A and B are shown apart, each in its own frame.
Chain A
Amino acid sequence: MRKFSAFALLREGLSGQAGWQRQWRSPEPKPRYDVVIVGGGGHGLATAFYLAERHGIRDVAVVEKGWIGGGNTGRNTTIIRSNYLHDESAAIYEHAVKLWENLAQALNYNVMYSPRGVLMLAHNTHDIQSLKRHVHANRLNGIDNEWLSPQQCKAFCPPLNIDRAMRYPILGGALQRRGGTARHDAVAWGYARAASARGVDILENCEVTGIRRGASGAIEGVETSRGFIGANKVGVVAAGHTSVIMNMAGVRLPLESFPLQALVSEPVKPAFPCVVMSNTIHAYISQSDKGEMVIGAGTDAYTSYSQRGALHIATHTLDAICELVPVFRRLRMLRNWGGIVDVTPDRSPILAKTPVPGLYVNCGWGTGGFKATPGSGDVFAWTIAKDAPHPINAPFTIERFREGVLIDEAAAAAVAH
């Protein structure tokens, strides 16, 4: 892998841009790997990267049924924050934020991490109490979060409407200044390039069709559309399709898959300086570096694998945004799309060993997995390498649903997760 640098830019500029390499290799599958990661999204690629980088395990393949960056990694609204209520969640999301801060350097790839601030709005007494509780809980965990009055919200984000006559007036907000956004495609590409350079084989257009287990029940490998691939360990990081993949190994999970939508406006000049979220009226919005307003809508009511949501879900969010930011009423929407998210009953992920020896699962990120990408990959790589969870992901087991030790972010994070 040739390093990206200002010098490389200059050299290519003088030589007709002819020397750029493909960013990752596209090898034929080997018959056997030490570790096979199922799913070439951000979390899977990050897992492969940290296996190679931090644990010296380079005999790794990432199998992806489509193309890199074509799933939820390329479909989310790119919001990064760590202002979660419970200690377990705060630890894992904050671990991720700390990795985000130096990710571009670590990968030698500009992931365009932009800590522009995430402002969560309160519209009623319950919101105020809940968000203030988050502020205090976060600060006890060493995570920045502060309470803003409506006027301070307006000063931080001038396009906001703080008129008290609104149907749901803005009564204040919780601001995490270190929160922000990153370029989602670049995250997938950067991890793929850095992992490939460290020896990881990235196998695109390679769909897993079965999981082979030996007489003892332990993992032997995966059947794929490009043939059988043997493996000592298999890590499943398949987001919305986790239930389908894990069924192949006979493991049942507490997951349901829902379509989650996002949409973008036509690109406009810089007009929106931060990320604004509202759980109560369900809106979240930020502006991409291309100039589009990136808007997250909610999940549909019903489980589905269709990668398509209903129009009334998106219009519901647009109603809220038009009231919060009246200047956007004349914006035209350019595109909308859906992704399939795997949701657990407590809205917290599962990163754990499974009852099958050699099989590991990283799933259940629901509607908010992008922000966790580096942290999730790091602790999941640890779990696979050491066959034991890292202290940060130790609480995120499958068994917590049997033991009743839920990490209940469903009430804490409401819908906008």
Chain B
Amino acid sequence: MLLIKCPWCGERPELEFSYGGEAHIARPADPTRLDDEQWAAFLYFRNNPKGLHAERWRHVHGCGRVFNAQRDTVSDAIVATYKAGEKPPGQSGSSP
């Protein structure tokens, strides 16, 4: 079981969280302008990396807030957690 550091509540066991899939996939700003290829990419196609993965978690049995994590998918070690809207560590600015 993972020990996950919620940016608001601190370290808690994985059972308090729900997983939200790959992070930083922006919902289309103007959905009517997307073609089928772009919709498929948004809905279904994922990076699925062997290595560092940016992903969403929700502290569903805690503060209820959504945040992002960077995890190594080979060792499952969580490298960093950060609030929604922030860039992954090492990048600046805001992010979806």
Q: Which residues of A contact B (CB under 8 A)?
A: 241, 243-244, 252-257, 301-306, 308, 310-312, 345, 401-404
Interface residue? B33 (CB, 8 A): no
Q: How far is the CA of A72 from the CA of B78 in the complex (A)?
A: 26
From the candidates B45, B50, B74, B76, name the one contacting A401 in the complex (CB within 8 A). B45
The 7 A-B pairs with the shortest beta carbon distances in the complex, nearest first, are A301-B19, A254-B44, A243-B48, A402-B40, A401-B44, A310-B1, A345-B44
CB distance from B66 to the nearest CB of A (A): 15
Q: CB-nearest residue of chain A relative to B1?
A: A310
Whether B73 lies near A303 (C-beta < 8 A) is yes
Q: Which residues of A contact B44 (CB under 8 A)?
A: 254, 345, 401
* B6-26 interface bits toward A, Cβ cutoff 8 Å, 1 = contact, 0 = none: 000000001100110100000
Of the candidates B48, B50, B76, the one whose C-beta lies within 8 Å of that of A255 is B48
Across the interface, which residues of A come within 8 angstroms of B19, CB to CB? 301-302
A305 touches B50 (CB 8 A): yes
Instruction: Tell me whether B46 and A305 are in contact (CB under 8 A).
Output: no
Pick from A241, A243, A244, A310: contact of B14, CB below 8 A: A310
Partner of B74, one of A253, A302, A305, A345: A305
Across the interface, name the chain A residue whose C-beta is closest to B35.
A402
B46 adjacent to A254 (CB under 8 Å): yes
Let me know if A256 and B46 touch, CB within 8 A. yes
Would you call A306 and B45 a contact (CB within 8 A)? Answer: no
Q: How far is the CA of A256 from the CA of B18 in the complex (A)?
A: 17
Contacts of B37 in A (CB 8 A): 402
Q: How far is the CA of A283 from the CA of B21 in the complex (A)?
A: 25
From A254, A301, A302, A308, contact of B45 by CB (8 A): A254
CB distance from B48 to the nearest CB of A (A): 4
**A345 B14 Cβ-Cβ under 8 A:** no
Q: Tell me, in angstroms, the Cα distance from A308 to B45 when the chains sit together.
A: 24
Q: Which of A252, A253, A311 meets B1, CB within 8 Å?
A: A311
On whether A402 and B36 interact (CB within 8 A), knowing A304-B73, A306-B73, the answer reads yes
Say whether A306 contacts B50, CB under 8 Å.
no
Residue among A302, A345, A401 with the most chain B CB within 10 A? A302
- Asked if B43 is at the interface of the complex by the 8 Å CB criterion, the answer is yes
Q: How far is the CA of A257 from the CA of B76 in the complex (A)?
A: 13
How far does the alpha carbon of A220 sit from the alpha carbon of B39 in the complex, in Å? 32
Contacts of A241 in B (CB 8 A): 50
Q: Which of B14, B40, B44, B73 has the most CB of A within 10 A?
A: B44
- Judge if B59 is at the interface, Cβ distance under 8 Å: no
- In the complex, given contacts A243-B47, A256-B46, A310-B1, what are 4 additional A-B residue pairs having Cβ atoms less than 8 angstroms apart? A255-B46, A256-B48, A302-B76, A310-B2
**A4 CA to B40 CA in the complex, in Å?**
50
**Which of B37, B39, B50 has the most chain A CB atoms closer than 10 A to its own CB?**
B50
Q: Given the known A-B contacts A253-B45, A306-B75, are A401 and B40 also in contact in the complex, defined by CB atoms under 8 Å?
A: yes
- Report whether A303 and B55 are in contact in the complex, using a CB–CB cutoff of 8 Å: yes
Residues of B close to A255: CB separation below 8 A? 46, 48
CB distance from B58 to the nearest CB of A (A): 11
B65 at the interface (CB under 8 A from A): no
- Asked if B76 contacts A306 (CB within 8 A), the reply is yes
Across the interface, name the chain B residue whose C-beta is closest to A259.
B76
Q: How far is the CB of B71 from chain A (nearest CB, A)?
A: 7
- Beta-carbon contact of B71 and A302 below 8 Å: yes
Task: Give the shortest distance, in Å, between B46 (CB) and chain A (any CB).
Answer: 5
CA distance A280 to B47 in the complex (A): 30
Question: Do A306 and B46 have beta carbons less than 8 Å apart?
Answer: no
21 contacts between A and B (CB under 8 A): A241-B50, A253-B45, A253-B48, A254-B45, A254-B46, A255-B46, A255-B48, A301-B14, A302-B19, A303-B73, A304-B73, A305-B73, A311-B1, A312-B14, A401-B40, A401-B43, A401-B45, A402-B39, A402-B40, A403-B36, A404-B36
A302→B55 contact, CB < 8 A: yes
Most chain A CB inside 10 Å of its own CB: which residue of B2, B36, B45, B71: B45
- CA distance in complex: A204, B1 (Å): 33
Measured CB to CB, the closest approach of chain B to A136, in angstroms, equals 30
Among the interface residues A244, A257, A401, which one has the most CB atoms of the partner chain B within 10 A? A401
Contact residues, B40-63 vs A (CB, 8 A): 40, 43-50, 53, 55
How long is the Cα–Cα vector from A311 to B76 in the complex, in angstroms? 14
User: In the complex, A302 Cα to B20 Cα: how many Å?
Assistant: 8
Residues in A neighbouring B1, C-beta threshold 8 A: 310-312
Partner of A303, one of B36, B45, B53: B53
- Distance (whole angstroms) from the CB of A157 to the closest CB of chain B: 32
Residues in chain B near residue A302, CB distance under 8 A: 2, 19, 55, 71, 76
* B76 & A304 in contact (Cβ 8 Å cutoff): yes
In the assembled complex, the Cα of A371 lies from the Cα of B7 at a distance in Å of: 43
Instruction: Give the distance in Å from the alpha carbon of A345 to the alpha carbon of B46 in the complex.
Output: 10
